[in-house]
Structure 1
Amino acid sequence: MDRISKLPVGVIESILCLLPIQEAARTSILSKEWRYHWIKIPKLEFIEDQFQEWTRGPKPSAIELRLNKPSKRKDMAKRCRFFYAIYQVLLMHEGPIHEFTLSMEVDTSCVEIDHIILHLSKKNTLKILKLDFEDGGDEGHRLPISLFSLHQLTSLYLHGCALYQQRSFNEFGCLTTLYLRSVWTHKKTLHRLLSSCPLLKRLTLGHGMTILYDVEGSTIVDLFECLPVIEYLYVTVFGLEDFLSKRLPKKLPTSLVHLKYLCVDTLCFTHIYGLPFLALLIRSSPNLEKLKLLMWEETFVNGDDVGSFTLDDYSDIMLEHLKEFEIQDFTDSENELEFVRLILAKSPVLKKMTISPHYFFDKDEESVSRVSEILFCSSCASPVVEIIVGRYKSDRSCPW
C-alpha cells in the first residue's frame, strides 16, 4: 500500500484514466493520497451499458419478463440514475476535462444531454468529444448550439445525432479528426462545418448519413474544397448522393495533395455515381498510398440509378504512389474484375493487393480460383506486388 501511495501524480492519473469512471471513484478508499485523485482525471467516459450497478432498478416482474416489456417508469428511473451519476461527477470534478465520452440509447429529445454539452463548453478545455447514441429516433438527437462553442476540440465523433445549424459558427481551429455516422444534417450545415475546420486531416462520413435537401445546396466540389490538408478520407457513396450530380467533373479544381488513405463504402460500379465519383477522387489524389473499396450489391441499385459507361473512359487514371489496394465484398462482376486489373496496370509501386469475396461468391471455390488465375496472369506495373484472394470478411471498417 505504501508503494501505491507514493506513486507520482502523473502515474496515478494514467492509471485512473484506464479505469471505468465508477471504478476510478472507488480508488478513493485506497489511501489519503488517492482520495481525491479521481475527481481530477482529464478523461471521463460514461457508457450506459457499463453502469449496470449505478442504473439498476427493481427487477422486472415475471409477467414483464415473459412479455419482454419492462415498464416505462422503470426505464425512466434507470435513465435518471445514469444522468444523476454523470451530474455528480461533473459537479465534483476539478481541473480540465480533455476527453469526454457519452454512449447511450436515445429514443427522444434528451435535454440532459444538452445540459452536459453546455457544461463542457463553459469549461472550454475539451479536446476529444465522443457522442454515441443508439436508436436516436427518426432523426437522431438534435445537438445544441453550445456544441459549436467547443473551440479547443481536436477530435469529434458523432453517431446517432442531428446537426441543424443554420447560422454561421466560429471556427473549429484545432479540429484534426471528424467522425460522422448516422448523422442527420443539411447540405449547408455540413459544408459550413467542414469549412470551419482548416486543419482537418481525418474525415469519416460513415453509414447512415442523411443529408437533407437544401434549395441552394453545395456540390461535391464545394465539399472537398474545404479539405486542403486532408490525409485520411472515409466516405459512403450513398450518404453523399445529394452532393453528387450526373455531370461530375473529371478532377477537382484543387487536388487533395496530402490525401494518402482513401476508403470508399457502398460503392457499385453500375450505379450512376459509383465509378465517376471514385475516378474523381483518384484523379484528384496524386499521392494516394492506400485505397480500400467496400462494394455494394448491384441488385440494390434502382433501375433509374444505373449508369452507362465503360472502363475505357478511365484509362487515364494513374496511381504512382499506391502501395496497398483492397476490395471487399467482391462479386466477380465484369466491371469489378476489370477495375482490379486496371489498378494492377496503373500502380507501379503497388506492394499488396487483397481481394475479399462477397459471402455468396466466397462459397464458389471454382470461381475464386478462376479470379485468382486471371489476376496472376494480368499485366502488372509493379514487379513486387503480392496478390491475395482471401475469404469473406464481415467487418466493413477501415483499420487505418
Structure 2
Amino acid sequence: MARKQQQRRDRISELPVDIVDKILGFLPIHEAAKMAVLSTFWRDTWFSLTKFIFDSRFLSHIMRKYRTREDSDIWVSAALYVINKVLNQHNGLIRTFVVNFQGNTRKSLKSRSFDIDQWFLFVTRKGVEDIFLSFMVGDDYRCYNLPNLKITARILDILVLNDSHFYHVPIYSNLRSLRVLELDCYSLVDFDKGCTRRELQPQPFVLNVEYLILSEYIFVSSDISSEFIHLLRTCPKLSTLDINLSFTHGFPKLRDEFHTVAQRLKVLQKLNLTEFVPCKPYVAFINRLLACFPALEEVVISITRSKRLFNVEGNKEVLDYYKDEVLQFSCCASTKVKRSFID
C-alpha cells in the first residue's frame, strides 16, 4: 500500500518553484497555461511565471482557434485580449517579456497602442530585465511611441526592437541599465532620433550597452552612417558588436568621424559579422572596421547560407579569393586581432 502511494506521488510538483518555472518556460505559453487545470499548485505556478513569450507558436494557436473567413484579422484582437488577460492575472515578478508579431499581422497595431503601453508599464513595474518586441506594422509605417519608463525600467538588461518605423523611445526613458541592445535598420534610425533629443538635456546621454546587435537591414534608400556612428558614440563600454553585413548597403561611406569614434572604443574586443557574401563592398567594409577598432581580439565572419550563391561553378574560388582579402589585410588597428570564417 505504501509503495502504491509512493508511486502516485507527483514528484514534479515537489520540485522547487524556481525549477518548475524554468520547466514551464520551455513550453509554448498556451501549453504552459493548460497545466493550470491540474491542481492548485499548477494554477498558482502559472499565475507567477517569470518568462512570457508570445511568439509565432502562440500566434499560430490563436489563428487556428479564432480566424474566420469573414474577418481574417479577428485573431489579432483575440491575441491582444489573451495577452492582456494573462498579464492582469499575473502575480510576482516578470524577467522576460517577448512579443513577436513579425510577418503575421496585416493591419497596423497603431490603433491598439494603448494595449502595448499597458504591457510596457506592467512588465517594467514587475522588474522586467529582457524585452523583445517585433511587429509587422503594415503599409502606413506609423510610429509607436514607447511609454515613459523613467521610474519603472530601472533594471532593464536587454532590449530588442525590430521591424519598421514602429518605435520611438521617449526622451526621459531610463535605459541606463541596458547591457544588450538589438536593432534593425529602421529601429536604429528611430532609436538614434530618441538619443539625439535626449542630448538636448543638460547631462550628455550615454548608454552602458556592452553588447550591440545590428540584426537586419531592410532596404532603405538613405545613408544611415551618421546614425550608426552616433550610436557607437553613446556606447563607450561596448565590448561585443554583431553586424549583419547587409547593413553595408546603409553605410556606403564611413567618414573620418567613424575612425575618431571607433578609436575611443577601448574595450571592444569581439566583432561578429554575419551573412558574408564574397564581393568587394563587403570586403571593403570589413577591412574598414579592422582598420579602425584598436582593441579587437577576435573577428568571426559567418558566410551566408544562401544556396544560390554556391550553385554556380567557380564560386568556391571566388569565395576563397575574397576570404584571403580579409585574412591577409595588414592595416589592422589592433595587433592582437584574430580573424576566422565559419560556414
Common fold: TM-score over 0.5? yes
Residue by residue over 1:98-117, the C-alpha shift from the partner in whole angstroms, topping out at 9 and shown as x without a partner, is 21111222333213355134
Match of 1:283 among 291, 311, 318: 291
Counterpart in the other structure of 1:42? 50
Q: Is the 8 A contact 1:262 1:288 kept in 2?
A: yes
Counterpart in the other structure of 1:109? 108
Residue by residue over 1:351-384, the C-alpha shift from the partner in whole angstroms, topping out at 9 and shown as x without a partner, is 7744x6xxxxxxxxxxxxxxxxxxxxxxxxxxxx
Residue by residue over 1:239-282, the C-alpha shift from the partner in whole angstroms, topping out at 9 and shown as x without a partner, is 366666474368325432211221345677644x962x544432
| Partner Cα distance (1:182, 1:218) in 2 | 12
Q: Is the 8 A contact 2:283 2:326 kept in 1?
A: no
Question: Any stretches of 5+ residues in structure 1 without a counterpart?
Answer: 61-70, 297-327, 357-392, 394-400
| Partner Cα distance (2:268, 2:133) in 1 | 26
Counterpart in the other structure of 1:97? 94
Q: What amino acid is the match of 1:89?
A: V
Residue by residue over 1:177-227, the C-alpha shift from the partner in whole angstroms, topping out at 9 and shown as x without a partner, is 11112534348416548985521011111222577869xx94654432222
RCO higher in 1 or 2 (8 Å CA, sep ≥ 6)? 2
Match of 1:31 among 35, 39, 43: 39
Shift of 1:284: 3.6
Shift of 1:72: 5.7
Counterpart in the other structure of 2:158? 155
Q: Is residue 340 from structure 1 mapped to residue 331 from structure 2 by the alignment? A: no
Counterpart in the other structure of 2:3? none
Shift of 1:22: 1.7
Q: What amino acid is the match of 2:133?
A: L
Q: Is the 8 A contact 2:130 2:158 kept in 1?
A: yes
Q: Is the 8 A contact 1:45 1:101 kept in 2?
A: yes
- Which protein has the larger Cα radius of gyration, Structure 1 or Structure 2? 1
Q: TM-score, normalised by structure 2?
A: 0.72
Q: Is the 8 A contact 1:267 1:293 kept in 2?
A: no
Q: Given the superposition, is the C-alpha separation of residues 236 and 3 from structure 1 closer, same or farther in structure 2, using an over 3 Å criterion?
A: closer
Counterpart in the other structure of 2:308? none
Counterpart in the other structure of 1:121? 121
Of all paired residues, the percent bearing the same amino acid is 21
| Partner Cα distance (2:252, 2:325) in 1 | 24
Q: Given the superposition, is the C-alpha separation of residues 343 and 54 from structure 1 closer, same or farther in structure 2, using an over 3 Å criterion?
A: same
Counterpart in the other structure of 1:84? 81
**Bigger mean CA offset, 286-295 vs 176-185:** 286-295
Q: Is the 8 A contact 2:143 2:165 kept in 1?
A: yes
Compute the RMSD of aligned alpha carbons: 4.1
User: SS of the residue aligned with 2:74?
Assistant: helix
> Which structure's residues are more often strand, by fraction?
1
| Partner Cα distance (2:185, 2:229) in 1 | 23
Question: Any stretches of 5+ residues in structure 2 without a counterpart?
Answer: 1-8, 305-314
Q: What amino acid is the match of 1:106?
A: T
Q: Given the superposition, is the C-alpha separation of residues 58 and 341 from structure 1 closer, same or farther in structure 2, using an over 3 Å criterion?
A: closer
User: SS of the residue aligned with 2:238?
Assistant: coil
Q: Is the 8 A contact 2:177 2:208 kept in 1?
A: yes
Q: Is residue 234 from structure 1 mapped to residue 271 from structure 2 by the alignment? A: no
Shift of 1:55: 3.7
Counterpart in the other structure of 2:310? none
**Bigger mean CA offset, 35-44 vs 245-254:** 245-254
Q: What amino acid is the match of 2:328?
A: R
> Which structure's residues are more often helix, by fraction?
2
Aligned length: 310
Listed as ranges, the matches of 1:1-400 within 5 Å are: 1-57=9-65, 71=69, 73=71, 75-104=72-101, 105-110=104-109, 111-112=111-112, 114-122=114-122, 123-124=124-125, 125-133=127-135, 135-138=136-139, 142-146=143-147, 149=150, 150-162=153-165, 165=168, 168-181=171-184, 183-184=186-187, 185-186=189-190, 188-189=192-193, 191-192=195-196, 196=205, 198-208=207-217, 218=226, 221-236=229-244, 239=247, 245=253, 247-248=255-256, 251-253=259-261, 254-264=263-273, 270-271=280-281, 275=284, 277-293=285-301, 331-332=318-319, 337-342=324-329, 353-354=340-341, 393=343
Q: What amino acid is the match of 2:77?
A: C
| Partner Cα distance (1:166, 1:174) in 2 | 15
Q: Is the 8 A contact 1:48 1:82 kept in 2?
A: no
Residue by residue over 1:110-137, the C-alpha shift from the partner in whole angstroms, topping out at 9 and shown as x without a partner, is 133551343332442221111123x433
Q: What amino acid is the match of 1:189?
A: K
Q: Is the 8 A contact 1:186 1:213 kept in 2?
A: no
Q: Is the 8 A contact 1:231 1:259 kept in 2?
A: yes
Shift of 1:332: 4.3
User: SS of the residue aligned with 2:271?
Assistant: strand
